[in-house]
Structures are given as structure tokens and as C-alpha cells.
Homo-oligomer: A and B are copies of this chain.
Amino acid sequence: MKAPFVKDLAADQSITGFFLVVEKEVRNTAGGKPYLRMELGDKSGTVEARMWDHFEDPAKDVSRDDFVKVQARVELYRNKTQLALSQLRRAKPEEIELADFLPHTPFDVEVLYKQLQGFMEELKNPWLKQLVAKVYSDPQVVAKMKRAPAAKVMHHAYIGGLLEHVVGLCGLAKQMGAHYPELDVDLLLMAAMLHDIGKLEELCYERAVSYTAEGQLLGHIVMELETVSKVMDSIEGFPAKLKAVVQHILISHHGEYEFGSPKLPMIREALVFHYLDDMDSKVAAVRAALAVDSGEEDWSVYSGALGRKFLRLDAYLKEPEKKKEAKN
């Protein structure tokens, strides 16, 4: 059991609980005495922790991104809470509920996944249907897709965020197919389902969200290109030209060279999918910016992803009460 959460720590308590190791280092005091300094966290925030004595043995067994169990006293140091540890050990997997450590999509991932399966059923092109089915026949892919965030900080940056984004894009793809009869909906749906498959490997999100070394060296576009290409090669008779079309849609979906697409969209569906993906990401980023209390009544926090802040429409359109006059 997790408790307490970081945000609930109050000075002068003694606590026992579980945390994620965000940073860990051994420092020396000015007098030359070594001590263990860690930053511990959960989904509610992070807190500094120090262990002054007998930390050598337990410290050896603990690394960044491990879960730990601690006994500690909550102290106040320069106006901030801090933990003085008396006991420390790595947590056992069965002691940990991951949901306590990372934020989560507001939707039920099982429901989202059912919706995705429904969209898969609707594919009419037999090659694309087979392609998508085969990619998702890997239980690893399914398991990861139910957990992966869509990005580290830009948008849908929480457990299940990628699935939420993918299902949303499937819905948008259907709408575009209804609006523009010239579009091949199957290509749009396939794009929605496969365009971020590489993020399952690019991002590491068991504890915190970060990039894997491979993710940094290759990026999710190149990673999913390889995964999806292999599956196409494994399907007997998959048409060579359709393969090039699928590959093009995957590599061009960022829309511009500077965002890591080695080709600009040169197929109508690739162009439309780029717009949908970009718009859905941006709408999610605005939603996230508006969800935070910025301290300004009319404005969201500044969104680094979008380079500006956004108006809180409701607050702005509501007539303010007249300010009372000063009294004494």
C-alpha cells in the first residue's frame, strides 16, 4: 500500500511508505562526511530525502527508477519538507501499484481498446486489415499500447495517453472519409493505428516517462517503419506498391522536415492524416495547459509545446462582479 502521497507530507511526522527514486547520489558534507541524497516521487510530486547513517548497504541495492520502501521523519528545511531516512530498501514488485506513480488517462483503457478493435473490424482493404491485425496480434504490443503515453511532455503525457490519441484519430479519420468522398478511409485508419507504434519502444514509461537510448538515436518514426515493414514482408503477397504507400504515410506524418519527417506528404491521405494528428496533439496540449491553475483568471499557463498561453473562454466571457470600493 502506497500511502502517504508526497503532496500530503507534513512536518514533524514519522512515516513509512513507498516511492520512486527520481535521483540518487552520494555527497559529502563540508566536513567530509558522506551521506545519501535522493529525490523521491509519486504521481503527486517529488520530495528531497537524506540518509546520514548506515546508508552504504541499502544504497548499493537501489538505483534511479527503482521503487523503494522507506521509514523517515518529515522535516522542514528552508521552508520545504524533506525526509530524513532511517530505513531504506528496494520494494518488491508485488508491493507496488504502478498507478500510484504515474498520471493516467481519464478514460478506461479497456473500453478504449475495444473501440480500437471496432475500428480494426471496419477496415475493408484486406491487406491493410491483415497488416493491422498482425501488428496488434503481438500481446506485447497490446499490453504496451494500453499503458504508453503519447509523448514525454508535449501532449497526452500520461498512462494510456497513446491509446486515447489513437482512438481519437480513428474517429476523426472516419469523419474525414464521410466529408471528403475522395479519401481512402482505410489508409487513414491504418495511419491512425500504426503511426505511433514506434513510441512503444521509443519511450520508457514503466516508472517515469523518458526516452530509451534507441529512442533517442532512431526516433519513433524510424522504429515503427522497421516494425511495420517486417510485418508487411511477412504477409505473403502483400503488394510492393502498397507497402511503399504505407511506408510513405508513416515517415511523412510529422509533415515537415524539421519535425523529423524525412519526406513531406505526397499522397492525399498522408497530407490529411498529418493535419489530423497535428490538430489532435495540439488540442490535447491546449487542454493540458488549461487544466493547470495559472494564477491568472483569464489565461492558461504558458504552453511550451505551443509557444503561447490560451484564453479561458468561459472565465473571459463571464461578466466580472464590480469591485467594491475601498472602505477605511
Contacts and interface: CB of A to CB of B under 8 A. Distances in A.
B219 A222 contact: no
A299 B216 CA distance: 10
Nearest to A182: B287
A231 interface: no
Interface residues of A, number: 86
A196 to B, nearest CB: 15
Contacts of A31: 10-12, 76
A31 B171 CA distance: 50
A93 interface: yes
A319 to B, nearest CB: 8
A70 to B, nearest CB: 13
Nearest to A259: B257
Contacts of A242: 317
A282 interface: yes
B283 A313 contact: no
Contacts of A271: 282-283, 286, 310
A66 to B, nearest CB: 8
A282 B273 CA distance: 12
Nearest to A187: B313
A79 interface: yes
8 contacts: A30-B74, A61-B326, A245-B311, A245-B313, A245-B317, A248-B311, A266-B311, A267-B310
| Closest A-B pairs by Cβ, 9 of them | A11-B30, A90-B326, A30-B76, A217-B248, A275-B279, A175-B175, A260-B262, A257-B257, A214-B244
